[in-house]
């Protein structure tokens, strides 16, 4: 894991007097290995290491920081830079409709992402229309119609007898007439890049004049995604990239490479199959996540979209203050069901992603967990440490689960609290470091 390697490196650097060629040699080597491990393109890694080295050696060590802390700051800043600094919004046309064209290989998540974008803009009060230009897979027409119905937006998917270029041109006209704000063109993909596909996309671009051409990349495809993105960019001059399946085991390094090698911004990331699993891409936050501090901000933002601000602030305070109780845990589980997959949320809690294996909680397991917590008294939920063997047996009986299951949950909960404590502490320190800059 990238973050583990980083943490080890930084521990080794602690207590050194100043940053010198000699004392960062090992750290740089570790960072290099960690990035390659995360599937970052070798060219990108070389450039990254060179830049970090140059910055590190050229910089005076701030009084308030150890060389190790200083080094983290530099790596953090460079990672953020590598991923594009700030979040890049969709470019909205001054004369509606804004036309967004999705492109990418088959199965990368174009149609799903089109639906997610539609849902997100609809939520912001915009009139959205989806156009289905995949006429090659019979099921595709059905898929986009169903998605449009699900999120409650207009759809133009006339079927398979009319050419994709014609569909997109018609869709633009229709969207004008209906005063649509955002028209999303969902195009066909292929298993591999081929000339016929590219030619079709080039023609769609010419006739539908999209304001945005977004390349949808499956984060799981690794380095191959970089080559594919380059081919699409050569023919279409992409305006941005959306990474899907970030909820998978994908290391995300290939993704990061696309940004660095193409120079095109990553605009969103997809983290699940549900329609609300789309987030704006924030390079600074992802850099922190890679560094092992957890993506606290995204977590809190996500929480806020489901509950009111007060509850979210409360949650943040509790996590930071290590006052997170069993009751909070249960409330979270139930809230999380509303937010999307449990795994994707847990990964955002500082230090959680590396421990996900041990946590062993997935969506299907939430029911027994809730049953066990329901069988606890309010006092036990607040202070799980009072739960002795007798109480464990009673809780097991009450919830219809085994004592082993109760034990496991309690253990997991304690581990989680420990981690929250450890990592919210580290995150806090880092904020101060940033202010010192």
Within 121-150, which residues bind Mg ion (CB under 5 A)? none
Does 257 show up as a binding residue in the annotation?
no
* Residue 266 or 396 having the CB closest to ligand GDP: 266
* Residue 273 or 316 having the CB closest to ligand GDP: 273
Q: How far is the CB of 125 from ligand GDP (least distance, A)?
A: 25
Contact of residue 112 among ligand GDP, Mg ion, none (CB under 5-8 Å per partner type): ligand GDP
Looking at 112, 325, 399, 424, which residue binds ligand GDP (CB under 6 A)? 112
* Residue 23 or 163 having the CB closest to Mg ion: 163
Does 351 show up as a binding residue in the annotation?
no
Looking at 253, 272, 340, 350, which residue binds ligand GDP (CB under 6 A)? 272
Q: How far is the CB of 204 from ligand GDP (least distance, A)?
A: 15
Dist. CA 300–CA 296, nearest whole Å: 6
Query: Measured on CA atoms in the order 342, 345, 348, 351, is the torsion positive or negative?
Result: negative
244 is a contact residue toward ligand GDP (CB under 6 A): yes
Q: What phi and psi, each to the nearest 5 degrees, are found at residue 341?
A: -70, 145
How would DSSP label each residue in 353-411?
GGGHHHH---GGGHHHHHHHHHTS-HHHHH-GGG--HHHHHHHHHHHT--HHHHHHHHH
* Residue 111 or 239 having the CB closest to Mg ion: 111
Q: What phi and psi, each to the nearest 5 degrees, are found at residue 103?
A: -145, 165
Judging by DSSP bridges, how do beta strands 128-133 and 182-187 pair with one another? parallel
Cα–Cα separations (whole angstroms), residue 38 to 199, 249, 371, 413: 34, 11, 38, 29
165, 125 Cβ separation under 8 angstroms: no
Does 127 show up as a binding residue in the annotation?
no
Does 244 show up as a binding residue in the annotation?
yes
111 is a contact residue toward Mg ion (CB under 5 A): yes
Does 246 show up as a binding residue in the annotation?
yes
Helix, strand and coil content of the chain, in percent to the nearest 5, comes to: 60, 10, 30
* Residue 132 or 294 having the CB closest to ligand GDP: 132
β-bridge partners, 130: 155, 184
Contact of residue 330 among ligand GDP, Mg ion, none (CB under 5-8 Å per partner type): none
113 is a contact residue toward Mg ion (CB under 5 A): no
Does 11 show up as a binding residue in the annotation?
no
| Runs of H (alpha helix) within 237-364 | 253-262, 283-290, 296-306, 309-321, 326-339, 342-346, 356-359
Q: How far is the CB of 133 from ligand GDP (least distance, A)?
A: 11
Does 428 show up as a binding residue in the annotation?
no
Please list, in sequence order, all residues whose beta carbon lies within 8 angstroms of the beta carbon of residue 276, skipping any fewer than 6 positions away. Answer: 116, 119, 339, 340
Binding mask 76-105 for ligand GDP (x = CB under 6 A): ----------------------------x-
Contact of residue 97 among ligand GDP, Mg ion, none (CB under 5-8 Å per partner type): none
Does 188 show up as a binding residue in the annotation?
yes
Dist. CA 3–CA 327, nearest whole Å: 30
Cα–Cα separations (whole angstroms), residue 8 to 3, 26, 28, 112, 291: 9, 11, 12, 39, 11
Contact of residue 107 among Mg ion, ligand GDP, none (CB under 5-8 Å per partner type): ligand GDP
Does 315 show up as a binding residue in the annotation?
no
Contact of residue 302 among ligand GDP, Mg ion, none (CB under 5-8 Å per partner type): none
What angle in degrees, to the nearest 10, is found between the helix axes of 326-339 and 309-321? 130
Binding mask 252-271 for ligand GDP (x = CB under 6 A): ------------------xx
- Backbone angle region of 126, left / alpha / beta, with phi > 0 → left and psi within -120 to 50 → alpha: beta
Query: Which positions make up the binding site?
Result: 104-111, 186-190, 244-247
Which residue ranges make up the site for ligand GDP (CB under 6 A)?
104, 106-112, 189, 244-245, 247-248, 270-273, 277
Q: Which parts are annotated binding residues for GTP?
A: 104-111, 186-190, 244-247
């Amino acid at each position: 894991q990238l973050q583990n390697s980083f943490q080890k490196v930084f521990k080794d650097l602690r207590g050194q007097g100043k940053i010198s060629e000699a004392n960062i040699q090992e750290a740089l080597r570790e960072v290099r290995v960690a990035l390659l491990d995360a599937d970052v393109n070798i060219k990108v890694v070389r450039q990254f290491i060179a830049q970090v080295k140059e910055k590190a050696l050229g910089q005076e060590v701030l009084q308030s920081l150890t060389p190790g802390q200083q080094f983290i700051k530099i790596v953090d800043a460079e990672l953020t830079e590598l991923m594009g600094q700030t979040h890049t919004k969709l470019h909205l046309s001054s004369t509606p409709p804004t036309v967004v064209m999705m492109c990418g290989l088959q199965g990368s998540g174009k149609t799903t992402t089109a639906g997610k974008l539609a849902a997100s803009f609809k939520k912001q009060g915009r009139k959205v229309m989806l156009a289905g230009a995949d006429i090659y897979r019979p099921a595709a027409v059905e898929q986009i119609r169903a998605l449009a119905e699900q999120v409650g937006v207009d759809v133009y998917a006339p079927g398979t007898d009319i050419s994709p270029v014609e569909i997109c041109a018609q869709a633009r006209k229709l969207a004008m007439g209906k005063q649509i704000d955002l028209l999303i063109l969902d195009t066909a993909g292929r298993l591999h890049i081929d000339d016929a596909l590219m030619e079709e996309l080039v023609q769609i671009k010419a006739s539908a004049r999209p304001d945005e051409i977004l390349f949808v990349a499956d984060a799981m495809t690794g380095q191959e995604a970089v080559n594919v993105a380059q081919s699409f960019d050569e023919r279409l001059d992409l305006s941005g990239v959306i990474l899907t399946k970030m909820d998978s085991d994908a290391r995300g390094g290939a993704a990061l490479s696309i940004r660095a090698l193409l120079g095109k911004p990553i605009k969103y990331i997809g983290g699940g199959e549900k329609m609300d699993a789309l987030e704006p891409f924030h390079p600074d936050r992802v850099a922190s996540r890679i560094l092992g501090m957890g993506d606290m901000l995204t977590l809190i933002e996500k929480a806020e979209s489901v509950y009111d601000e007060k509850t979210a602030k409360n949650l943040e305070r509790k996590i930071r203050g290590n006052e997170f109780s069993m009751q909070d845990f249960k409330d979270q589980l139930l809230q999380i069901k509303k937010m999307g997959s449990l795994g994707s949320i847990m990964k955002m809690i500082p230090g959680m992603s590396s421990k996900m294996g041990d946590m062993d909680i997935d969506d299907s397991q939430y029911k027994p967990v809730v049953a066990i917590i329901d069988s606890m008294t309010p006092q036990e939920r607040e202070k799980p440490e009072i739960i002795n063997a007798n109480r464990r047996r009673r809780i097991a009986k009450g919830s219809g689960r085994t004592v082993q299951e109760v034990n496991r949950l309690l253990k997991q909960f304690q581990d989680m609290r420990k981690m929250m404590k450890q990592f919210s502490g580290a995150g806090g320190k880092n904020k101060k470091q940033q202010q010192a800059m």
